[in-house]
Structure 1
Amino acid sequence: MDETIVTDDGVRLWAVRSGEGRPVVFCHGGPGLWDTLEDVAGLLSGVAAVHRWDQRGCGRSQRLGPYSTARTVADLDAVRRHFGLETMVLLGHSWGAQLALRYALDHPDRVRGLIYVSGTGIDPADTWREEYRLRLRGAVSGDVERWAELESRERTAAEDREFAVLQWSADFADRDRAMEHAERMATPWLGVNFECNAALNAEGKRDWGTPALREACAALAVPALIVDGAEDIRPRRAVDSLERALPDASRVSLPGAGHLPWVEDPEGFRAAVSAFVARVG
């Protein structure tokens, strides 16, 4: 059953709980998107009570700022309190992996374990972004010229979805099914919050890659599991510095999988994540 969480500044967040077992809270990607992790919840239904939510301004949550990492961390803590969790395992995907890491750094006593899925590490984005852009252009399915045109100008709501599907098609290793998977991600289409996306990405450019962040990660006494799809177009070397910095981290790379590794290797993903949850939860 869908639930409504009211944050300390009065913003309403959508959330849902499913499954039984150890408490795991998901942080979806973006920023500015919505929860697309229902399939992951299904994979973990036998081992975890999964708590999913749409971040502030996104999807089914109230479209109202302010948008900042600190504000989103506070919203995540509101989710924890709403469900009565003293501690939890955090699973974050892509941008959500960065959010889950930041929450663990700020509140390590409330996190039993961190599952960092398809994130981009703690180095500055300019160390990997150009290579990612080249790979993205080469991996877009269908009409790459159409994708480039849509990227370069303002779009209608329908064109936003078209652009997203073309871009998301690059996130899958199986090129024959890439558009099918991307269409499924975009259904239902809940609209991208570009204001949120711009604000949080700008903040990330300022804050990630600093010595203070590396030192904080080195002091984090929370077990971590890093899960990658080996064929993710975001260079996986971007995550190496995070793996080196964390004192208690293991890493699983799933062959033949892209940015959403549970889609292309569900059994490998389920096995890795379930074992970690059982160990730390």
Structure 2
Amino acid sequence: MSDTVYTRSGVRLRKHSETEGNLNWLFLPGGPGIGSESLVELADCLDVPGSIWLVDLPGDGSNRQAPGAPADPFSCWPHAVVEAAQALPNVVFAGHSTGGMYLLATPELEEHIVGMVLLDTAPDASWHPRFVEMTMAHPLPEVTAATLIYEADRRDENIAAIAVASTEWNFAPAGLARGRDLLSRMPYNSAAVDWSEDNFDHVYAARWWPRTIPTLVIAGGDDRIVWQGGWDAERFRTPNVAYVTVEGGGHFPWIENPSAVRDTFGKFGRSVLAFVQA
């Protein structure tokens, strides 16, 4: 199989690495609009059985004019994640931030995966007003200035400036330098941001919850972007789910504490293998 796979609607899967094992780990980025390049450092730090793939929906990040994509690439969002899961066997689907929300908004996914990881994400849109409150309590003048420029000229370069200016919201102090570097070299796609803002971010609620497959909910202990309190509801505390808080981690906790993230994924990978082999 090629190291790059496109589904019928233009979802792009790029193989990052491969080790012994028959699992396929699919990593869907947050944002949206930032692209799976934002997960390279995460993939680099992991030691999991099988292959790691970086996934981009059509029209997201750098996946523009994907073969097979409809004229309006967002018309297949977010349910095109099912196509990604169908493209490979023994899929463990991991979604970061909004990416995890897209997974939970797609109940058809359950029958096509053997494990799921939710990184710094939430079960419904109640995280968003809390995020707004945080930005008001901890204003960043550079973000305000960059936002004004973007609103007057909605180019991708200008939305990139907003992302870089928001570094202090996304990363704990120990990760600021690496975090700023990460955000400064990402591909940004304002059309994807607009689609999610208009159609998803404020109305999202999980449409399914895994009943049997191993599931990992992991988040940085200092994540200021996505509030984690929504997971306290009893319906999410099922026996197949592990909850892990990464000490010192921000919204991209593998930047501040890669060893903890690596260890957590390693343990989870073993539980998925046991599930598959049972």
User: What's the TM-score, normalizing by structure 1?
Assistant: 0.80
85, 89, 99: which one pairs with 1:80? 85
1:197 aligns with 2:193: yes
1:149 aligns with 2:145: yes
Q: Which amino acid aligns with 1:166?
A: A
Matches within 5 A, 1:124-273: 124-125=126-127, 127-134=129-136, 137=139, 144-152=140-148, 153-155=151-153, 157-174=156-173, 177-187=175-185, 189-190=186-187, 192-205=188-201, 207-209=203-205, 213=206, 216-217=208-209, 220-234=211-225, 236-241=227-232, 244-247=235-238, 248-273=240-265
Structure 2 SS opposite 1:208: coil
Q: Which amino acid aligns with 1:94?
A: S
Unaligned ranges ≥5, structure 2: 66-70, 274-278
The whole-number CA distance in structure 1 between the counterparts of 2:201 and 2:190 is 16
Q: Which amino acid aligns with 2:126?
A: P
Match of 1:28 in 2: 29
Check whether the contact 1:19–1:45 (CA below 8 A) recurs between aligned residues: no
99, 103, 112: which one pairs with 2:102? 99
The whole-number CA distance in structure 2 between the counterparts of 1:52 and 1:243 is 32
Match of 1:140 in 2: none
Structure 2 SS opposite 1:92: strand
Identity of aligned residues (%): 19
Structure 2 SS opposite 1:73: coil
Q: Which amino acid aligns with 1:30?
A: G
Larger CA deviation: 152-161 vs 19-28: 152-161
Check whether the contact 1:165–1:179 (CA below 8 A) recurs between aligned residues: no
Q: Which amino acid aligns with 2:77?
A: R
Check whether the contact 2:85–2:112 (CA below 8 A) recurs between aligned residues: no
Match of 1:71 in 2: 77
Match of 1:141 in 2: none
